[in-house]
Chain A
Amino acid sequence: MALNLPENLYNQVIVHLTSAYPHEGAGFLVGKELDDQRSVCMILALDNEWETNETHKRYKIMPNAFLEAENTAEKHGLGLIGVFHSHPDHPARPSEYDRRFALPWFSYLIISIYKNRVGHATSWLLSDNRDHFIEELLNIE
């Protein structure tokens, strides 16, 4: 699988995640899938609704936000294809916590955000047996 992210949408993601810093930011990737290619057509930047004061290392998107996002995607003739979130001051690699709460099939775009710069961006898919992530090709162009 490859995730194709137009540069203008990547920039929208970066604006949202850098504005969330030093907290984790998150949102949905909306688009289409054809064969082994996923194309992001729009992003939905959301509030981090983690309930405690640990938003610097945790993010949460609530069920009502998930429902709204699915409805928005359908209205545009698209579908939810993944989630993006930031790792403030940490590498763009999924953690054990990311794995435990990951949904199958979704592309998980992770971007390292530091105080004065944007780090790497990577994208991942949960394995069939849920025990690890598999990195997918990320094309930003």
Chain B
Amino acid sequence: MANIRIPTPLRTFTNGDTDITVKGNTVGEALLDLTSQYVELKQHLYNEDGKLRAFVNIFLDGDDVRHLNGENTAINAESSLRIVPSVAGGFI
């Protein structure tokens, strides 16, 4: 099964665990499995429309999946996924 590395601010929802094993044949399925294991993560990864939040970047073996096939990108048991946030804000 593939592995997802969790960034620091989201580890509070995975009992402090950094690396989570997930099932699935695509990035999207892996994320679905992750949020079924750790339900509280879902609202921080996905917006109200069910889409990944703009600041959530998913890397597969070092590549941003936006440059691959997005959440439909195929993965296998050796795949290494990583959730890497952008950080943004502004006064208005």
Task: List chain A positions with a Cβ less than 8 A from chain B.
Answer: 24, 26, 50, 54, 57-63, 66-67, 70, 73, 79-80, 83, 85, 87-88, 90, 94-95, 97-98, 101-106, 108, 129-130
Contacts and interface: CB of A to CB of B under 8 A. Distances in A.
B50 interface: no
A101 B8 contact: no
Contacts of B55: 101, 103
A63 B9 contact: no
Given A101-B54, A130-B44, A57 B88 contact: no
B84 interface: yes
Contact of B91 (A61, A67, A87, A101): A87
Interface string B60-87: 0000100000000000000000001111
Interface centre among A26, A83, A90, A103 (most CB of B within 10 A): A103
A67 B59 CA distance: 11
Interface residues of B, number: 23
Interface centre among B7, B43, B85, B91 (most CB of A within 10 A): B91
A66 B85 contact: yes
B2 interface: no
5 contacts: A50-B88, A88-B91, A95-B92, A97-B92, A103-B55
A90 B91 contact: yes
A88 B91 CA distance: 8
A56 B36 CA distance: 40
Nearest to A79: B8
A101 B7 CA distance: 15
B9 A105 contact: yes
